[in-house]
Amino acid sequence: MKKTVLSALLMLAVMSLDAQHSSLRTYGDAVQLMVDGNPFIVLGGELGNSSASCAEDIESNFSKLHEMGLNTVLVPAYWDLLEPVEGQFDFSLTDKVLEEARKNDLKVVFLWFGAWKNSMSCYAPLWFKQDYKKYPRAYTADGKPLEIASAFSENVFNADNAAFKAWLGHIADTDRDHGTVIMVQIENEIGMLEDARDHSKVADRYFKAPVPEELMSYLQAHKDALHPYMSERWAANGNKAKGTWTEVFGDDIYTDEIFMAWFYARYVEKMAQSAREIYDVPLFVNAAMNSRGRMPGEYPSAGPLAHLIDIWHAGAPSIDFISPDIYDNGFKDWVAKYHLHNNPLFIPETRHMQNNGVRAFYVLGEHDAIGISPFAIEDGSAEQGTPFVEGYEKLREMMPLITKWQGQDRMWGLLFDQQDKERVIRDGDLVMTCRHNFTLPWDPRATDGSEWPEGGGIIIRLNDYEYVVAGNGIVVEFKTASEMQNSDQAQALGEDGFAASGASGNGQPAAKPAARNAYSRCGIGSVDEVSVLPDGSFRYIRRLNGDQDHQGRHVRISVGDYKVLHVKLYEYR
């Protein structure tokens, strides 16, 4: 009997290992998503909210996404359609998603639209919504019930979690041999609206009680590494080791948000623990941004926002990372807020635009991102040669290089527009001055009043004086640090690439600078356009010289033209 039990346990352990098709690993300074033992970057797209609610839409959408060059699709899983009658489950849409994903060579990240979606409980089944006494709502301070299920209700959690477990158990049974599902998002843009926290009677009782010991212990253990926001909030009230929420964090709307974040995180943690027991894939939560000067409750208060990351880490340690849904201006600033020492960057939602390709280059090169996923992706064009399709195609080609050099401090991302058009990168004794390609005068769109499209790319140092420059709409100059320090002031260029006019402006030749040979200068030895092979080696396409590198002065890729360039440099005096 003991041998039989032991054999069964060993078999379960082996099945569990076999089911582990995806996981996360630390690689240098980066966190990489591993799929079937190999690094995997999500070049994804998220379906619109209702675009996976019938089998016909799933079939037509997935074939199009394959044509667009995606390797992953983010798909809602709808509680109301999954459990239309309490305790009776319909997994047909999930099965159709998995079938079409496998048919079209796509991985799936499922988004659990359970108790909350964009704060509201709109995807809860009707039987749940109608029984508001058993499944209570959150309340505003003036007593208004909201279409938001209470995070303080065991009944709400039990119903949500039961459906989640049944659904995930079905995935485990049907996907174990395939590994199509590589990550799961729990809920969607959790947060309170109209008020910063729930003011129901049960919530008020918790608010008047002491801050949980688990949270206080976490803050004390991580005191020197807390997010600046949390560190300042705690310090402003004396870094107390215990007390009520207002005693520890202050008496204002921001304390309401911290309080609510803790209870949302604890709710999600229990669901994450269920997931770990059933199908152990990476788990994350996403946040609607606290932007445009809005106060907590005007944006979804208490969600997994960057300034609340310590609360979410303490309350939901089984969640692997928190992610931003970026629709606002200031893309570079937003991604920097979420790529933290304790949080890898994954963008599950961003506005779908043709420049998503250059933005993908940027977040992979600059932030070692796990991936990016424009929203309502099915509304985009699958036409070959469009900027989005071409960008994803070039990134798929570059995956062997990007995954090899992530986290190694030798890869940089570039993203430029008409206002933010230059970046200087120092790499040891080498200085790279990188600009939007329209800073050169040779394209009429640079000066005819047209709005500059974003340009972006990746620079990777392969060896000393050997680089890959890839992307769209960028120009890079290379100088030694000494040369940069002693550089003459740059002259304005004319359309022919020479000085726009003489230095005196009267037709007289410009004065010659004194000769200087006391330091090394950097020259461009060769620039080759290449394609990247699956093993990371290069296939030569053509040599770019003369006008294409301005007679050895720079490396450039035109706006609208995705390329990979292999650059070799040399020193001279």
The rounded distance, in Å, linking the Cα atoms of 537 and 410 is 18
The helix/strand/coil state of 463 is strand
Contacts of 49 (CB under 8 A, 6+ apart): 76, 117
The rounded distance, in Å, linking the Cα atoms of 135 and 296 is 25
The rounded distance, in Å, linking the Cα atoms of 94 and 78 is 9
| End-to-end CA separation in angstroms for the chain | 82
The one-letter amino acid code at 203 reads A
464: exposed, middle or buried (Cβ count in 10 Å: 0-12, 13-18, 19+): exposed
Displacement of CA 258 from its chain's centroid (Å): 24
pLDDT higher than 60, residue 503: no
Contacts of 500 (CB under 8 A, 6+ apart): 491, 492, 493, 494
Phi-psi domain of 536 (left: phi exceeds 0; alpha: psi -120 through 50; beta: other): left
Distances in Å between the alpha carbon of 535 and those of 374, 454, 503? 28, 30, 51
Mean pLDDT of the chain: 93
The rounded distance, in Å, linking the Cα atoms of 519 and 482 is 6
Q: Which CATH number applies to 411-508+517-572: 2.60.220.20, 2.60.40.1220, 3.50.30.30, 2.60.120.620?
A: 2.60.220.20
pLDDT higher than 50, residue 243: yes
Distances in Å between the alpha carbon of 360 and those of 18, 304, 322? 32, 22, 18
The rounded distance, in Å, linking the Cα atoms of 511 and 35 is 61
Taking the CA atoms of 544, 549, 554 and 560 in sequence, report the sign of the dihedral they define. Answer: negative
Question: What's the whole-number mean pLDDT along residues 378-388?
Answer: 93
DSSP conformational letter for 375: B
Predicted confidence at residue 448, as pLDDT, reads 87
Taking the CA atoms of 36, 41, 47 and 49 in sequence, report the sign of the dihedral they define. Answer: positive
The phi and psi torsions of 490 (rounded to 5 degrees) equal -65, 140
Predicted confidence at residue 439, as pLDDT, reads 95
Q: Where are the domains of the chain?
A: 40-196+257-405, 411-508+517-572
Percent of the chain with pLDDT over 90: 88
Of 423, 546, 515, which Cα lies nearest the Cα of 476?
423
Contacts of 481 (CB under 8 A, 6+ apart): 426, 429, 430, 431
37: exposed, middle or buried (Cβ count in 10 Å: 0-12, 13-18, 19+): exposed
pLDDT higher than 80, residue 288: yes
Predicted confidence at residue 138, as pLDDT, reads 98
Residue 444: band (very low, low, confident or very high) from pLDDT cuts 50, 70, 90: confident
Give the CA angle between residues 196, 200, 202 to the nearest 5°. Answer: 115
pLDDT higher than 80, residue 115: yes
pLDDT higher than 50, residue 329: yes
The rounded distance, in Å, linking the Cα atoms of 416 and 206 is 48
Percent of the chain with pLDDT over 70: 91
Question: What's the whole-number mean pLDDT along residues 395-416?
Answer: 98
The rounded distance, in Å, linking the Cα atoms of 409 and 27 is 11
Contact call for residues 245 and 258 (beta carbons, < 8 A): yes
The rounded distance, in Å, linking the Cα atoms of 316 and 113 is 18
Report pLDDT digits (tens) over 159-209.
999 999 999 999 999 999 999 999 999 999 999 999 999 999 999 999 999
Q: What is the model's pTM?
A: 0.92
CATH code: domain 40-196+257-405 is: 3.20.20.80
